[in-house]
């Protein structure tokens, strides 16, 4: 069975190189106009009404300015009483102030109405990306750095907000205002003013587009250096103890500083390019404004215009500068935002390597028997890991898999969880191919106690409850008791509310393993996988943990992946895996009697245990007996007199 990766979804593809605005709005539209939220759609319609009303008021403001100016300069000023001369301009000035206030209020009302729409879109899309990250394969996450992924998510979330707010709250209103201003210029003046204004707008937007496209490469390099610096910082802080062990603070600081140096240089280039962009925009607008005002001055001298027209054209174009500048900013911000979310959309484009088949049904576990049938697998084609592995774990029995490092032991557990798909062969649970079952039901049926237990940076209670979130407090406490960690928890001042720290580093290795065991007990799965769960622990802790694991294994189908052979001597069957092939299988006594690979591994480990015991101060003979007694689970005989 060869796994075929589903094709990517083209509609999500976004690039800052071309078609950014159109493709981005197309991608965001389902989130801006959600079919399941009538209240948000109503807000959009109401915000649109407010938009047009606000722009009508905006266009009326220069008219009040013109009327007030013309009222101050009447045609025959000497025949008009002073009181009458002052009354009209004062009233018109008040109207001007009221108009500006009304324009501001309507604009802010519109923005407030649309805020919930914009932030809902941000939330839904960010949530979709987060969910998609969890659907992607283990291979994807092993190839990526956590710090880089979190930075992509953070920057993408901010970029989405910028796009939504810029396009819907600034871009659309600005286009409406452009159209209204051109209509007023044609009505109040003549076609020459419209031509000058249109040429100015076209030149302004053309320059802005070209300059912004030039800045995209600079912005991209700045983002890459920012991500690199953030990744190095997170990686270094997560490995704080390792840094201290090797006295590598200066080296880590140097690595971080090199990344920040690249970020600094890219940021300086970004700010310089922004200054060039702003200077060019100002020059183009000033040329257009000056040309229009020269035409009005000529018209005043010829008697076709009034002084109020000069004030009006100045106010109209100055008022145009803000939305025109916004259009440049909108384009610039959208391009930058799309640059920021390119990687986020790339993640959404990436189809999960492991996906439920169409019509996949929940796995129904009656007994929990596990079977591997001629399973072949390779992470990369050039290096096969499993070469036709077949075995069965009968319901309620324990089967152990042992072998040298790199033999493919942990790969078996990853395939069982469907973190990867085998290139050929089948894996069945109670006769059902796991490839035909839903991943959720498959993983609900299997419990895992790994070698390296990583806990959430939360409380002990939270980490235990993670096994079954709806469990009661009593069930959580019972699971802790069965894992033999309840006494330790009660000795803590905050009990189950004690924080475990980043990755559980406030707890010892044995305490973390007991939390992992309690979590698995609470989950209550019919199938249990123990992946070298005690290999990193000391002898005394290993013995306690091993006792706890044996208790939770009773009555469950258990697959044990072991490094220390003494922990699997009581397994119903032991498989010896070497170079991707099962070379031996049988019980512990049978395998020892054959003198093969297992016997060699056993003897080698006995020598290691004896050497360790000697270092701890035990006589060699007693150390050997101690090893055998652990293997047989019987008390060691007394030393000879």
Reduce the secondary structure of 130-147 to three states and give it as a string: HHHHHHCCHHHHHHCCHH
Give yes or no for residue 98 having a pLDDT over 80. no
Average predicted confidence (pLDDT) for the chain: 77
For the ranges 15-19, 318-322, 506-510, 556-560, the one whose mean pLDDT is highest: 556-560
In a domain, 73, yes or no: yes
Q: Are residues 181 and 318 in the same domain?
A: yes
Question: Is the domain of 341 the same as that of 406?
Answer: no
Whether the predicted pLDDT of 628 surpasses 70: no
Please state, in angstroms and rounded to a whole number, the distance separating the CA atoms of residues 473 and 478: 9
Q: How many other CB atoms are there within 10 angstroms of residue 524's CB atom?
A: 14
Cβ-contact 178, 166 below 8 angstroms: no
Q: What is the mean pLDDT of residues 158-165?
A: 74
Task: Assess whether 253 and 400 both reside in one domain.
Answer: no
Reduce the DSSP state of residue 11 to 3 states and report it.
Answer: helix
Residue with tokens 């007030």: 68
pLDDT digits (tens, 9 = 90+) for 233-290: 888 887 887 787 777 788 888 888 888 888 888 888 888 888 888 888 888 888 888 8
H or E element in which residue 376 lies: strand 370-380
Q: What is the mean pLDDT of residues 289-295?
A: 85
Domain membership of residue 106 (yes or no) is yes
Q: Kindly state whether residues 557 and 630 are assigned to the same domain.
A: yes
State whether 534 and 489 are in the same domain. no
Position 107 in a domain: yes
Residues 467 and 588 placed together within one structural domain of the fold:
no
Q: Report pTM.
A: 0.61
* pLDDT exceeds 60 at position 13: no
- Residue 394's pLDDT is 92
Please indicate, yes or no, whether residues 510 and 376 belong to a single structural domain of this protein. no
| Tens-place pLDDT, residues 424-457 | 999 999 999 999 999 889 988 988 888 777 788 8
Least confident interval from 26-35, 372-381, 534-543, 557-566:
534-543
pLDDT tens profile 62-76: 777 677 777 776 544
Dihedral over Cα of 110, 112, 117, 118: its sign: positive
86: domain CATH number is: 1.20.1560.10
479: domain CATH number?
A: 3.40.50.300
Count of domains in the chain?
A: 3
Q: 388 and 518, same structural domain?
A: no
Instruction: Give me the domain span that covers residue 114.
Output: 16-349
Residue 166 is classified by DSSP as: I
Give counts: helices (H), strands (E), the chain.
20, 10
**Is 11 part of any domain?**
no
Higher-confidence residue: 352 or 541?
A: 352
The last residue of a domain, from among 294, 319, 349? 349
Percentage of residues of the chain with pLDDT beyond 90: 7
Q: Could you tell me if 541 and 518 lie in one domain?
A: no
Q: Which of 349, 379, 407 is the last residue of a domain?
A: 349
Asked whether residue 77 carries a pLDDT value surpassing 50, the answer given is no
Is 64 part of any domain? yes
Mean pLDDT of 110-134: 76
Please indicate, yes or no, whether residues 512 and 602 belong to a single structural domain of this protein.
Answer: no
User: Does a structural domain hold residue 10?
Assistant: no
Q: How far apart are CA 491 and CA 485, in angstroms?
A: 10
Q: Which of 167-176, 211-220, 413-422 has the highest mean pLDDT?
A: 413-422
In angstroms, rounded to a whole number, what is the distance separating the alpha carbons of residues 289 and 421? 66
Residue 9 inside a domain? The answer is no
Pair (564, 483) in one structural domain: no
Does 298 share its domain with 239? yes
Give the pLDDT confidence score for residue 174 in this predicted structure.
74
Give the total residue count for the chain.
641
On whether residue 3 sits in a domain, the answer given is no
Q: 465, 495, 524 — which closes off a domain?
A: 524
């Amino acid at each position: 069975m060869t796994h075929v990766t589903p094709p990517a979804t083209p509609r999500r593809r976004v690039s800052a190189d071309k078609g950014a605005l159109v493709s981005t709005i197309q991608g965001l539209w389902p989130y801006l106009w959600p079919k399941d939220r009538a209240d948000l759609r109503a807000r959009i319609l109401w915000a649109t009404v407010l938009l047009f009303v606000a722009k009508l008021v905006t266009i009326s403001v220069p008219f009040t300015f013109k009327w007030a100016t013309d009222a101050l300069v009447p045609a025959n000023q000497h025949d008009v009483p002073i009181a009458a001369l002052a009354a009209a301009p004062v009233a018109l000035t008040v109207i001007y102030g009221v108009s500006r206030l009304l324009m501001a209020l309507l604009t802010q009302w519109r923005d407030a109405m649309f805020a919930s729409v914009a932030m809902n879109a941000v939330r839904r899309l960010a949530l979709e990306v987060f969910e998609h990250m969890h659907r992607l394969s283990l291979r994807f996450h092993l190839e990526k750095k956590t710090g880089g992924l979190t930075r992509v998510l953070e920057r993408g979330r901010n970029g989405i907000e910028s796009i939504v707010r810029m396009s819907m709250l600034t871009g659309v209103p600005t286009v409406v205002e452009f159209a209204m201003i051109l209509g007023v210029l044609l009505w109040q003046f003549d076609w020459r003013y419209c031509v000058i204004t249109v040429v100015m707008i076209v030149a302004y937007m053309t320059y802005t587009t070209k300059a912004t496209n030039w800045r995209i490469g600079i912005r991209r390099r700045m983002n890459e250096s920012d991500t690199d610096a953030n990744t190095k910082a997170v990686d270094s802080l997560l490995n704080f103890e390792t840094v201290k062990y090797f006295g590598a603070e200066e080296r880590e600081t140097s690595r971080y500083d090199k990344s920040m140096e690249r970020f600094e240089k890219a940021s300086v280039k970004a700010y310089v390019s922004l200054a060039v962009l702003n200077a060019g925009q100002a020059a183009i607008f000033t040329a257009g404004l000056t040309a229009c005002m020269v035409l009005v001055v000529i018209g005043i001298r010829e008697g076709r215009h009034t002084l109020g027209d000069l004030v009006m054209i100045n106010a109209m174009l100055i008022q145009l500068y803000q939305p025109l500048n916004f259009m440049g900013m909108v384009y610039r911000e959208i391009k930058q935002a799309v640059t920021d979310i390119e990687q986020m959309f790339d993640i959404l484009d990436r189809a999960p390597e492991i996906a439920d088949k169409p019509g996949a049904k929940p796995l129904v576990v009656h007994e929990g028997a596990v079977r591997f049938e001629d399973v072949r697998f390779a992470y990369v084609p050039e290096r096969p890991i499993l070469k036709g592995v077949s075995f069965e774990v009968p319901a309620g029995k324990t089967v152990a898999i042992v072998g040298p490092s790199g033999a493919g032991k942990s790969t078996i557990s990853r395939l069982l969880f469907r973190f990867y798909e085998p290139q050929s062969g089948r894996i069945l649970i109670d006769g059902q191919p796991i490839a035909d079952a839903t991943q959720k039901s498959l993983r609900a049926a299997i419990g895992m106690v790994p070698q390296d237990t990583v806990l959430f940076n939360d409380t002990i209670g939270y980490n235990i409850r993670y096994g079954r979130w709806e469990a009661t407090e009593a069930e959580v406490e019972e699971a802790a008791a069965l894992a033999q960690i309840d006494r330790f928890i009660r000795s803590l001042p905050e009990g189950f509310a004690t924080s475990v720290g980043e990755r559980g580093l406030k707890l010892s290795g044995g305490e973390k393993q007991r939390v992992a065991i309690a979590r698995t007990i609470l989950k209550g799965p019919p199938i249990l996988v123990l992946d070298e769960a005690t290999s990193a622990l000391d002898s005394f802790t290993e013995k306690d943990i091993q006792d706890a694991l044996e208790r939770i294994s009773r009555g469950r189908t258990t697959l044990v992946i072991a490094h220390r052979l003494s922990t699997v001597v009581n397994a119903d069957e032991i498989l010896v895996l070497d170079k991707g092939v099962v070379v031996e299988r049988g019980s512990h006594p049978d395998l020892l009697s054959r003198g093969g690979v297992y016997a060699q591994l056993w003897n080698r480990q006995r020598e290691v245990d004896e050497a360790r015991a000697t270092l701890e101060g035990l006589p060699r003979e007693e150390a050997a007996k101690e090893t055998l007694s652990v293997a047989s689970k019987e008390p060691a005989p007394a030393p000879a007199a």
